[in-house]
């Protein structure tokens, strides 16, 4: 018992000391399509919605917007900046028109009406450098994705305006170099045009981001190499993404399946793939054969998503009700698609869960340490609990269930002594998202910049952002 107390004390000290390292993920995602003073773009809003969904599925708190005016963009940026304070990972994604004036990049709200350099610099546009510095400076890892390299119709207006000095106006975005802990990615390279895609679909760049950046166990720079290859192939080598990075470690947006010998720069605290620390291992060894439920619960309290959680729960169940005949490893028999297939309201409706079955789900979650009221109603509280369970298991965290995830949940061992709760209302709000688009095929102008300094890590790796 003395050994156990010592281990408990050490674990409590380390847990409290590491509480500030909890994985805080925040994202700014905006798509501007409905421009008022130039032809509208068909796909940025669709692109932004797709990226927002991907990021939410891996635990990001997303500040999202569509077709924002200058004032509304400022409001969203202020909200993002506050949330990004102290973040482990901050993501900035923008799709829409952008412009470079005298080497400085600007993003354009839908109400922008640029006729001169003064219009750009005195508030009609959003200065990218200032925005990133003010909103993301405090984040440990900063990932910036700019699908704004379009052939900008405002450029000609500004060039033709009378000015007292020479003005350099580019149709795409200018070169940007990243600071420490930062990755910046453009849809295409300098002097090139990027396809916007068919109306109502994603651009090739965003489609590649959606397909790769949140793959389980794929490090972000490896993911971006895949993005580059996918875009290059899809556009018949007519478009090559461009970027710059100064990341100082491996970054995984979805750490499930991450190699044990390559800890991420911002490893997710809920990742089931993370190996047990020496302290956790010693803690578990000290209680694993205990006949006292409170000692096993002490482990679960210190390590709510620990490597031995399933074994602790099975041990508790056996002590409460005799030996269990249903104990199994969490990953045994789990369909690999469970880790990638997203659930939504439609997939959950297809399960046809009645009130009793919903209660069963809630009781199972509580038995696994994800406490929720067994009301038979999937309210906001239950959605949040489902999302935490999904994140802990490495499944896409949407708060909704599909057939694979429900099967995986039922297969897990749970403590059988879960108190039932009062009945709840059966009515549920169904959340339906609509995406829109319109117009024909559009193209985006080249972005990025020349020079060897614009390569990832200042190395021509032939990876994501090397020039050909």
Secondary structure of residue 295 in the 3-state scheme:
helix
C-alpha–C-alpha distance, residues 388 and 366, integer Å: 12
Query: What pTM did the predictor assign?
Result: 0.54
pLDDT digits (tens, 9 = 90+) for 51-108: 999 999 999 999 999 999 999 999 999 999 999 999 999 999 999 888 877 777 888 8
Burial track 30-63 (b if 16+ CB lie within 10 A, e otherwise): bbbbbbeebebbbbbbbbbbbbbbbbbbbbbebb
Give dist(CA 135, CA 249) in Å, integer.
Answer: 22
Closest CA to 146 of 169, 172, 125, 168: 172
Q: What is the DSSP letter of 339?
A: G
Low-confidence ranges of the chain (pLDDT < 50): 2, 7, 12-22, 161-169, 171, 174, 261, 264-273, 322-332, 415-468
pLDDT of residue 413: 59
| Residue of 446, 392, 389 whose CA lies nearest to 172 | 446
């Amino acid at each position: 018992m003395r050994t156990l107390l010592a281990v408990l004390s050490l674990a409590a000290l380390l847990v409290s000391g590491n509480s500030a390292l909890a994985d805080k993920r925040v994202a700014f995602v905006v798509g501007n399509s409905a421009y008022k003073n130039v032809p509208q773009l068909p796909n940025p809003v669709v692109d932004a919605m797709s990226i927002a969904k991907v990021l939410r599925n891996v635990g990001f708190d997303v500040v999202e917007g569509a077709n924002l005016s200058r004032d509304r963009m400022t409001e969203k940026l202020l909200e993002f900046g506050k949330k990004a304070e102290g973040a482990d990972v901050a993501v900035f994604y923008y799709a829409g028109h952008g412009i470079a004036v005298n080497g400085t990049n600007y993003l354009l709200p839908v109400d922008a009406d640029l006729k001169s350099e003064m219009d750009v610099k005195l508030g009609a546009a959003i200065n990218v450098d200032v925005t990133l510095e003010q909103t993301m400076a405090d984040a440990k890892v900063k990932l910036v994705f700019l699908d704004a390299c379009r052939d900008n119709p405002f450029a000609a207006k500004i060039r033709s305006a009378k000015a007292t000095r020479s003005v350099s106006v580019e149709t795409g975005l200018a070169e940007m170099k990243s600071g420490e802990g930062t990755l910046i990615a453009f849809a295409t390279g300098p002097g090139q045009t990027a396809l916007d895609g068919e109306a109502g679909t994603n651009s090739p760049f965003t489609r590649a981001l959606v397909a790769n950046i949140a793959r389980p166990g794929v490090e972000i720079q490896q993911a971006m190499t895949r993005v580059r290859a996918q875009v290059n192939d899809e556009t018949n080598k007519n478009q090559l993404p461009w970027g710059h990075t100064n990341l100082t470690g491996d970054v995984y947006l979805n750490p499930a399946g991450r190699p044990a010998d390559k800890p991420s720069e911002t490893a997710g605290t809920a990742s089931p793939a993370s190996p047990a620390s020496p302290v956790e291992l010693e803690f578990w060894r000290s209680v694993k054969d205990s006949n006292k439920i409170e000692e096993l619960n002490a482990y679960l309290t210190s390590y709510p998503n620990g490597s031995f959680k399933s074994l602790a729960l099975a041990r508790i169940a056996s002590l409460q009700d005799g030996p269990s005949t249903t104990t199994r490893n969490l990953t045994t028999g789990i369909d690999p698609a469970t880790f990638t297939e997203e659930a939504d309201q439609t997939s959950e409706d297809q399960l046809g869960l009645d009130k009793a079955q919903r209660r069963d789900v809630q009781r199972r979650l509580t038995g696994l340490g994800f406490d929720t009221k067994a009301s038979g109603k999937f309210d906001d509280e239950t959605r949040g609990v489902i999302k935490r369970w999904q994140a802990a298991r490495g499944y896409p965290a949407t708060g909704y269930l599909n057939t694979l995830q429900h099967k995986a949940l039922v297969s897990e061992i749970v403590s059988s002594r879960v108190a039932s709760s009062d009945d709840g209302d059966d009515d549920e709000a169904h959340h339906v998202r609509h995406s829109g688009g319109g117009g024909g095929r559009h193209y985006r102008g080249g972005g990025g910049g020349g020079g060897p300094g614009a390569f990832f890590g200042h190395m021509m790796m032939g990876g994501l952002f090397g020039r050909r």
